[in-house]
Amino acid sequence: MFASCVSAASVGILTRLCALVLVVALGLGSELRVRVRLVDGLVTEEVLEADSERDSISLEFKQGDGTLITFLADFKQDVKIFRALILGELERGQNQYQALCFISRLSRNEIIPSESMARLRQKNPQAIRLAEERRGLEQLEMSAAVNLSQASQLSSHMHNMCSEAREAVYTRESDVRHWLDQGVDGSIFEVLPQTTEVPSFQACHSTKDLWQPCLCTYSLRLEWYPCMLKYCRSRDSTGKGSTYKCGIKSCSKGYHFTYYVPQKQLCLWDEET
């Protein structure tokens, strides 16, 4: 699954991506490997990991173009983090990889609890899993940048998840307001130009000049994840009814992020076809 990790530029990235292969192969920790079919028809393997102590769940998979997608749900601080490590286009002057991080609030009904995830097993690891429910596409306008040096106020996972993204860590205005109400220091956020300057910027896909600022879009889909617990009913010898956990419901969900970039060169995937 991760054989092409040798394409990454950074030794740190290489070490982490290749180390993931070893951890999965050895079966360490509360990990579940699920085979899924992507939108382009390719089959990939998702690695889901639960950390009951830190009350978090992570999901990671590799897309057909080599992009590594990681999703993390932090139940302690009700935060979800998306990270994309995208292979760069060297012939067009990009670095060998580009990292993006998107942060938003986590709703309790989005994914099952970490302790339930830790107990999940599958009888046939070679089966290609299809989600029972295909949830609608979520549109997220990421109108603020996050200062990574102070981002642990949002989640203790921020540094590990987003250190490669550096200045490409984004969130929504509505989430900023919520966190400010919760006492988070306002200096951690910077409002991006598209919400404060007129005229508004063009979409990157319609911008010809590689050095012009524009509005970039990035889309990803989590093809399979345990979104809900299933409950069954039973009756004892006296006829008294009760409910118990008897499985999970799986979902698929897409996310479409829009955010400002200071130059189109940072958004080469968003072009007219």
Close Cβ partners of 158 (under 8 Å, ≥ 6 residues apart): 81, 103, 146, 148, 151, 152, 169
Q: What is the pLDDT of residues 213-268, one digit of tens each?
A: 999 999 999 999 999 998 888 887 777 888 878 889 999 999 999 999 999 999 98
Q: What is the pLDDT of residues 98-146, one digit of tens each?
A: 999 999 999 978 999 999 999 888 888 999 999 999 999 999 999 999 9
Please tell me the total number of residues recorded for the chain in this structure. 273
Q: What is the pLDDT of residues 176-226, one digit of tens each?
A: 999 999 999 999 999 998 655 545 789 999 999 999 999 999 999 999 999
What average pLDDT score do residues 88-96 get?
Answer: 71
Note whether 223 and 252 are within 8 A (CB).
Answer: yes
Note whether 198 and 235 are within 8 A (CB).
Answer: no
